[in-house]
């Protein structure tokens, strides 16, 4: 199981979420996730928006907790939107091109989960990627293919329906090949203005996903926490696992649902896979 984090709000230094909390993403990467025998030590990535419309990316195939460049960079960058990901490889090589976030134009994408029997399904999935996108496949993960399939099915114009078509396509390909319950996923997707987050599994319980409560609620619940006074009123964090153990600070994203997160609020929608066309 991988872990990821997305932030939306007034500009902050990423280290405020990657390093500072008791259960920061870096601290989580050192420890075993529930049901996982190993920590998230198979690479990491940080993507953020700054002076350009397209995101800046920093990847490494080293463990996040020991990377001095990440520690320095995350304290120097100041950004209103970023995605961070720590990886636990699930059968694919530990290499930089397999590290999230993946990007195309102004969009970034992270994934926690898997496509069941991916080696068996990969050919059919990859051949469905739009021809002009085919050459941009640099790694070997199912996650990168999911992102490119979503672009193929209209992500750049209408992201959530495109993600639903992507999921529906994977499930239809899997059904034709006799693969049951192919998708386990939480997804983070952003264009620099909004963060889209999805929690879904074809069968069973999806991996966890949490959203922070609104900042005003956090300030009322925990007036002694100076950190909450620092964040802008519309700031939100979406995470695989809570960064601090404070009752009322986190809201679990329901299974089979999607969030659209912006500084002016959060919208929750059902997520229903449907085959394209």
Q: What is the DSSP string of 237-248?
A: EEESS-SS--TT
- Nearest Cα to Cα of residue 18 among 88, 90, 98, 77: 77
Please count the CA atoms within 13 angstroms of the CA of 178 that sit on its side-chain side.
0
- Angstrom CA distances, 141 to 55, 92, 168, stand at 21, 6, 19
2 part of the active site: yes
For each of the domains in the chain, give its residue range(s) and CATH number, in order of start.
3-270 (3.60.20.10)
pLDDT string in tens for the chain (277-residue length): 789 999 999 999 999 999 999 899 999 888 755 555 567 767 899 999 998 999 999 999 999 999 999 999 999 999 999 999 998 877 777 889 999 999 999 999 999 999 999 999 999 999 999 999 999 999 999 999 999 999 999 999 999 999 999 999 999 999 999 999 999 999 999 999 999 999 999 999 999 999 999 888 888 878 877 777 778 888 999 999 999 998 999 999 999 999 999 988 999 999 999 988 7
Q: What pLDDT score was predicted for residue 30?
A: 82
Q: What pLDDT score was predicted for residue 194?
A: 97
Q: What pLDDT score was predicted for residue 162?
A: 98
Question: CA dihedral in degrees (180, 273, 236, 151; nearest 10)?
Answer: 100
Neighbours of 79 (CB within 10 A): 20
Burial environment of residue 84 by CB neighbours within 10 A (0 to 12, 13 to 18, 19 or more): buried
How are strands ordered across the β-sheet holding 3-12? Answer: 56-60, 44-48, 79-86, 3-12, 236-239, 210-212, 250-252
Q: Output the six-digit token pair for 261.
A: 């997160």
Partner residues linked to 187 by β-bridges: 111, 198
pTM of the model as a whole: 0.94
- Of the residues 1, 2, 163, 179, only one is catalytic, namely 2
Q: How far apart are CA 53 and CA 102, in angstroms?
A: 16
Partner residues linked to 106 by β-bridges: none
- For 145, phi then psi, to 5°, come to -65, -40
- Sequence length of the chain is 277
Partner residues linked to 4 by β-bridges: 85
Q: What pLDDT score was predicted for residue 193?
A: 94
């Amino acid at each position: 199981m991988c872990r990821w984090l997305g932030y939306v709000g007034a500009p902050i230094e990423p280290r405020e979420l990657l390093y500072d909390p008791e259960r920061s993403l870096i601290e989580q990467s050192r420890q075993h996730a529930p049901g996982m025998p190993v920590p998230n030590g198979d690479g990491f990535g940080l993507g953020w928006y700054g002076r350009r419309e397209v995101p800046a990316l920093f990847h490494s195939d080293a463990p996040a907790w020991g990377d001095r460049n990440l520690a320095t960079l995350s304290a120097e960058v100041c950004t209103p939107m970023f995605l961070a990901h720590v990886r636990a490889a699930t059968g694919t090589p530990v290499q930089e091109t397999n590290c999230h976030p993946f990007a195309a134009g102004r969009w970034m994408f992270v994934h926690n989960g898997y496509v069941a029997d991916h080696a068996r399904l990969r050919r059919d999935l990859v051949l469905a990627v739009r021809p002009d996108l085919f050459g941009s496949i640099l790694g070997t993960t199912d996650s990168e293919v999911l992102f490119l399939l979503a672009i193929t099915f209209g992500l750049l114009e209408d992201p959530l329906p495109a993600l639903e078509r992507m999921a529906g396509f994977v499930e239809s390909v899997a059904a034709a090949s006799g693969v049951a319950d192919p998708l386990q996923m939480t997804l983070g997707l952003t264009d620099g203005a909004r963060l889209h987050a999805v929690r879904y599994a074809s069968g069973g319980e999806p991996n966890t996903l949490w959203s922070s409560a609104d900042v005003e609620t956090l300030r009322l619940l925990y007036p002694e926490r100076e950190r909450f006074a620092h964040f802008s009123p519309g700031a939100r964090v979406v995470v695989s696992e809570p960064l601090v153990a404070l009752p009322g600070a986190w809201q679990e994203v329901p299974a089979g649902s999607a969030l659209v997160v912006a500084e002016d609020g959060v919208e929750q929608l059902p997520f229903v896979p449907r085959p394209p066309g």
